[in-house]
């Protein structure tokens, strides 16, 4: 982690960071010229060959083709950028872009742009509508149709949908400070891996004893915005309820039979009910009861949910009140907690399970050993800064779920490419 001390003709000299830690010198020193050349020019011909293999008019309705082409396009950008350009992108462009989008979203710029069928509007017109000054209109990700004149894109139109747009002010106000302060926190704690949910990077950054969920719920509208953000996060991602993913009829519904008393699916920590509502829609004739559980502040915020789904306030760190359910389901719950807290959550569920009948379905990322998807690795970084937790590899999941004190065994894992969505099925040992 060296810094430059001179001009473009100089070399990089090793210096300790501002916290006083000692950083090894690079020997021999790296010439600054390396930062002004493409990051990986040797890779460019092969990347272009891979891109050309998609043809002149690839079918972008095919998600596998679209994602494959997108990955190669990112590879090409990374290879062509110089290290200096990548640094400026990380340090200036990305924070600046996020700041501009959040400010414009809070002000209502994108809603004004989307009005009248998305017709072009001058900056003075937007400012007049919003009763603000043209100088405060920070623009980004929009079409420039003339001098001081702009039109929306599909991206900025989507920002007017709360489950897409609310992620920006939510994370700006209740999350990103933890990312900014993370290097400082790590230096103060001798770079030990954070595992303390009561005194981790988040608590350090926000000067609070609350976890992120508690902080956001007590600093509204952050809590409501976060619930919307989770709905946006799940959009377009593979679902274990999709055909060909997990055999629901065979491994879940079939064993319930015609009983209406059995709890078929308990969605533990299920937020506003996005997943269990999807299950009910896809399997409207499934026997048994459907139950959604979360903290009172979340359950009470639900505005619309099929009456067939029972709402139940419950803290998953305490005893599970629904006994003998066919399946206890958790989507992106355990990645919010370090292993010792996950162990407690799992023990509460295991204590409620009926041997030979009940199962736990865990819907999470499984990080592959190599070529992990960027969404999963980005989320991994967010987990450690916000929750002192992490995304887990397959071996991590086995160590956690099959620990003797938990009492579970993994009977199957169903995944899509790169582990961006997986379903782990567990039973009692």
pLDDT of residue 22: 64
> pLDDT tens digits, residue range 176-196?
999 999 999 999 999 999 999
What's the mean pLDDT in 250-259?
A: 86
What's the mean pLDDT in 328-334?
A: 96
The residue to which tokens 């002000």 are assigned: 107
Phi, psi (5° rounding) for residue 202? -65, -45
Topology at the third CATH level for domain 91-160: Arc Repressor Mutant, subunit A (1.10.10)
User: Domain ranges in the chain?
Assistant: 1-32, 37-81, 91-160, 164-235, 237-428
Identify the band that residue 419 occupies on the pLDDT scale cut at 50, 70 and 90. Answer: low
**Same fold for the domain at 91-160 and the one at 237-428?**
no
Q: How many residues does the chain have?
A: 429
pLDDT of residue 98: 86
Based on the residue annotation, tell me whether 176 is a catalytic residue of this protein.
no
% of the chain exceeding 90 in pLDDT: 62
Please give the mean pLDDT across all residues of the chain. 88
Q: Which of 15, 274, 335, 340 is catalytic?
A: 335
> pLDDT tens digits, residue range 263-311?
999 999 998 898 999 999 999 999 999 999 999 989 998 989 999 999 9
The residue to which tokens 């400082």 are assigned: 184
Question: CA distances (Å), 250 to each of 1, 11, 108, 242, 410, in order?
Answer: 53, 64, 49, 14, 17
Burial class of 318 by CB neighbour count within 10 A (0 to 12, 13 to 18, 19+): exposed
Q: Which residue has the higher pLDDT, 13 or 64?
A: 64
Give yes or no for residue 8 having a pLDDT over 60: no
Q: Is residue 269 within 8 Å of 230, Cβ to Cβ?
A: no
- Give the other-Cβ count within 10 Å of 381's Cβ: 13
Identify the band that residue 35 occupies on the pLDDT scale cut at 50, 70 and 90. Answer: confident
Superfamily name and number for 237-428: Vaccinia Virus protein VP39 (3.40.50.150)
Q: Is residue 383 within 8 Å of 393, Cβ to Cβ?
A: no
pLDDT of residue 333: 95
DSSP classification of residue 193? P
Give yes or no for residue 4 having a pLDDT over 90: no
pLDDT of residue 133: 76
> pTM (2 decimals)?
0.79
Helix (H, G, I), strand (E, B) or coil at 38: coil
């Amino acid at each position: 982690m060296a810094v430059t001390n001179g001009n473009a003709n100089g070399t990089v000299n090793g210096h300790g960071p501002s916290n006083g830690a000692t950083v090894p010198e690079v020997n021999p020193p790296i010439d600054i010229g390396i930062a002004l050349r493409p990051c990986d020019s040797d890779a460019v011909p092969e990347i272009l060959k891979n891109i050309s293999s998609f043809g002149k008019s690839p079918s972008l309705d095919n998600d596998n083709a679209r994602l494959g082409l997108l990955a190669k396009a990112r590879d090409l950008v990374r290879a062509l950028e110089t290290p200096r350009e990548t640094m400026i992108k990380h340090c200036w462009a990305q924070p600046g872009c996020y700041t501009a989008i959040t400010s414009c979203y809070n002000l209502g710029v994108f809603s004004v742009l989307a009005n009248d069928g998305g017709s072009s509007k001058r900056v003075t017109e937007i400012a007049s509508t919003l009763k603000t000054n043209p100088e405060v209109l920070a623009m980004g990700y929009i079409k420039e149709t003339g001098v001081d004149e702009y039109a929306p894109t599909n991206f900025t139109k989507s920002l007017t949908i709360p489950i897409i747009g609310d992620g920006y002010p939510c994370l700006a106000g209740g999350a990103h400070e933890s990312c900014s302060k993370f290097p400082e926190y790590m230096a103060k704690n001798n770079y030990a891996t954070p595992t303390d949910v009561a005194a981790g990077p988040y608590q350090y950054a926000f000067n609070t004893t609350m976890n992120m969920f508690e902080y956001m719920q007590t600093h509204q509208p952050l809590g409501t915005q976060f619930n919307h953000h989770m709905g946006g996060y799940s959009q377009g991602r593979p679902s274990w309820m999709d055909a060909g993913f997990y055999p629901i009829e065979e491994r879940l519904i079939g064993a319930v039979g015609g009983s209406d008393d059995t709890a078929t699916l308990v969605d533990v920590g299920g937020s506003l009910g996005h997943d269990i509502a999807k299950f009910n829609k896809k399997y409207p004739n499934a026997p048994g009861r459907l139950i959604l559980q979360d903290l009172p502040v979340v359950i009470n915020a639900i505005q619309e949910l099929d009456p067939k789904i029972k709402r139940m306030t419950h803290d998953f760190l305490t005893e599970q009140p629904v006994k003998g359910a066919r399946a206890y389901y958790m989507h992106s719950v355990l990645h919010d907690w370090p292993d010792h807290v996950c162990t407690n959550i799992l023990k509460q569920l295991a204590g409620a399970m009926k041997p030979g009948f009940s199962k736990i379905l865990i819907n999470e990322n499984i990080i592959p050993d190599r070529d992990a998807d960027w969404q999963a690795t980005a989320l991994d970084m967010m987990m450690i800064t916000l929750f002192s937790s992490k995304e887990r590899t397959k071996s991590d999941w086995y160590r956690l779920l099959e620990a003797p004190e938990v009492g579970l065994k993994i009977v199957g894992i169903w995944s899509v490419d790169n582990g961006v969505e997986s379903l782990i099925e567990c039973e009692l040992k």
